[in-house]
Amino acid sequence: MMKDSVIIYSGGLDSTTLLYEEHPRIALAVTFDYGSNHANREIACARHHCSSLGIEHLVIELGFMSRHFSSSLFSGADAIPDGNYAEENMKSTVVPFRNGIMLSIACGLAESRGLKRVLIANHGGDHAIYPDCRPGFVSAMDRAMKAGTYDGVQLAAPYTNLTKADIVRRGTALGIDYGMTYSCYRGGERHCGTCGTCIERREAFSEAGIPDPTVYDCLNA
C-alpha cells in the first residue's frame, strides 16, 4: 500500500489507535510539543509506538503557545481542574484553535514531502468542549487544505463521529497495549484519575466493557 499520509500523533489513546489502524499508509507521525504539563510522558509513548511500527517520528516544538496563548495546560498540575470534560470549568484547558494550528503545519509538511493526506484523531466526545473538533470545522479545514496546496492535500478525521468507547473497542481488537499510552493533563508519573481527560479515559473503558490497564493515583492512594 502506498505510504501517503502524515498523522498528528500525541501518544494518547485516540491517536495511538489511529496510528495502528492506518499504519500501512502512514509515512510520518508528528508530535507537537507545545509545552503542556504532560508533553514529555506523551512523547515517550509516541516514540515507543512509532519505533514498534517502523514509522518516522518528528517532534515539533511550538514554544510560542505557552508564551503567548492562555490555557491552564501551561500552568502546572495544580491549575488543572478536577471534573468531567463537558463541564464549564474544563474550558480553562482549551488551547485556542490548537487543531487548526497542528493541521496547518502537518499540511505544510505533507506538501513538502509529496504526501496527500493528514490524519487526526478527534472524536465525538471532544465536541462538547472543543469547537476545533466538530464536523463543521473538520469539513471547512479540509476544503482550506485542498484549496491551499498544489496537490490538494486532504484531511481525514475518521473518528469525528465515534465515541471514545468505540475507539477503545477498535484498538483492543487490534491488540494495542493501552498501558503504553498517556493522557493525564496533570502530567504526573501515574494518571491522576480525576482530571477531565482521566475521567473520560476511565468512562471509555467502562462503557466499552474492557478492563482498563491504566494505573490511576486516585484509586491507589
Among 52, 64, 89, 161, the residue binding a second copy under the rule CB under 8 A is 64
Out of 63, 76, 179, 209, point to the residue binding a second copy (CB under 8 A): 63
Under rule CB under 8 A, residue 70 binds a second copy: yes
Please count the residues of the chain.
221
Region of 15-23, 37-45, 144-152, 164-172 interacting with a second copy (CB under 8 A): 144-152
Distance CA 106, CA 141 (A): 12
* One residue of 29, 120, 145, 176 binding a second copy per CB under 8 A: 145
200 grid coordinates: 473520560
Pairing type for strands 154-156 and 56-61 reads: unpaired
Closest by CA position to 198, among listed 37, 71, 31: 37
Looking at the Cβ atoms of 69 and 216, the one nearer to a second copy is 69
Q: How far apart are CA 217 and CA 76, in angstroms?
A: 17
Our finding on whether 205 is near a second copy (CB under 8 A) is no
86 binding a second copy? (CB under 8 A): no
Q: How would you classify the pairing of strands 117-119 and 5-8?
A: parallel
Taking the least distance from each CB to a second copy, the nearer of 151 and 177 is 151
Q: CA distances (Å), 171 to each of 20, 29, 167, 190, in order?
A: 8, 18, 6, 21
Residue numbers of the site for a second copy (CB under 8 A)? 58, 60-65, 68-70, 95-101, 103-105, 107-112, 131-132, 134, 136-137, 140-141, 143-150, 153
